[in-house]
Amino acid sequence: MKPAALPALTLALAAALATPAAHAAKPRREPPPKPLGTRPALVAFADDLAAAEGWDAAALRRQLAAARNLPQVRQLILPATTHTAKNWAAYRDRFIEPRRLAAGAAFWAAHREALARAEAQYGVPAEVIVGIMGVETFYGRITGGFQVLDALATLAFDFPAAHPRAAERQAFFRAELAEFLRLAREQGLDAAELRGSYAGALGWPQFMPGSWRRYAVDFDGDGRINLLASPVDAIGSVAHYLAAFGWKPGLPTHYGVTLPADADARARLLAPDIRPTFTAAELQAAGAGLPAAAQAHDGPLAAIELHNGGQQPPTVILGSENFWVVTRYNWSAYYALAVIELGQAVKAQLATPP
């Protein structure tokens, strides 16, 4: 995300449109995506998967060969080429804003029973579930417009070599493509019609196919799991996912902290990033200032620094094991804190008299 770039881009675009050359220019028409075709890696993948699952190998080869190679997906999966300073305040403002708060309050009101039941069954607070649903898909409003079969096949067989972890990520997406094909057959879904994110995430909670198969639950009791159209199934599935990754009921997600002024001590505490590593006693011995609740915390903590652009001082917190669990959904402290604060803000709005 580049929060500071939008106004400049808007002004530049307006200036360009005011020139005769811009009016005369014809819009560029992108060529239609080409099918992947019968490349050796695809054929071997199809044959191995068909043999393992008892499927028709020739039919699977044809299905995958017809999947479209999407250049936009290959571009989106690459890290940003230009460095922009991370900005927690700007990132937060994308999610904790009036429209999303209103949508979150309406979602909570409509699904109060399911949220309470998920909290009772899995120990995950309703506000954390509400925060994830709000950040992921704006409560089901934005679930992705890419054909998932095309997106996953592109990343499985034509992953960009320029990516710093190309081999590892391509293997991941090849495994997710197999999970997606299994999921479509298990759920009676048309793989060619399903839409999701450019990375292949699906439905209200944006589960990858493998996560759907491992963690999704039939929480509305209708006999099937439908993360595409059942917000109640999504609520239960998000709670089950977090519980499976070790959510501890009643444990705070994070605390405030004052990090030591000594640069070496500060760097040592920040080195593990979001992984809980230090006890409260170790943090205090290193010169960190902890509030009473953090001093009483029984378990490891992570010293986390979130930058606020190039000018403002960073935001620092101590993440608990539950903060770490939220990052299993998305490996980012910025994401996790946005989820937590959005859920808290929606809860506060519900508690405020009109």
Hey, what are 21's tokens?
């050359």
Q: Which residues contact 274 (CB under 8 A, 6 or more apart)?
A: 302, 304, 319, 323, 324, 327, 331, 333, 336
136 is catalytic: yes
The Cα–Cα gap between 77 and 242 comes to: 25
Residues in the chain: 354
Sign of the CA dihedral 47, 53, 59, 62?
negative
The Cα–Cα gap between 215 and 237 comes to: 6
Under DSSP, the state recorded for 28 is: P
> Exposure of 151 by Cβ count < 10 A (0-12 exposed, 13-18 middle, 19+ buried)?
buried
The Cα–Cα gap between 296 and 280 comes to: 8
CA 155 to chain centre: 17
Alpha helices in the chain (DSSP H): 5-17, 20-24, 40-53, 57-66, 71-76, 88-95, 98-110, 112-122, 126-137, 148-157, 166-187, 209-215, 231-244, 263-270, 280-285, 292-295, 321-326, 333-351
Answer for the pair 198, 151: CB distance below 8 angstroms, yes or no: yes
Phi, psi of 335, rounded to the nearest 5 degrees = -60, -50
Tell me the HSE value of 131 on the side-chain side, using a 13 A CA sphere.
Answer: 26
Whole-number Cα distances in Å, 93 to 1, 100, 256, 341: 12, 10, 20, 11
Residue of 136, 176, 179, 305 marked catalytic = 136
Hey, what are 311's tokens?
């000018």
Catalytically active residues, by annotation: 136
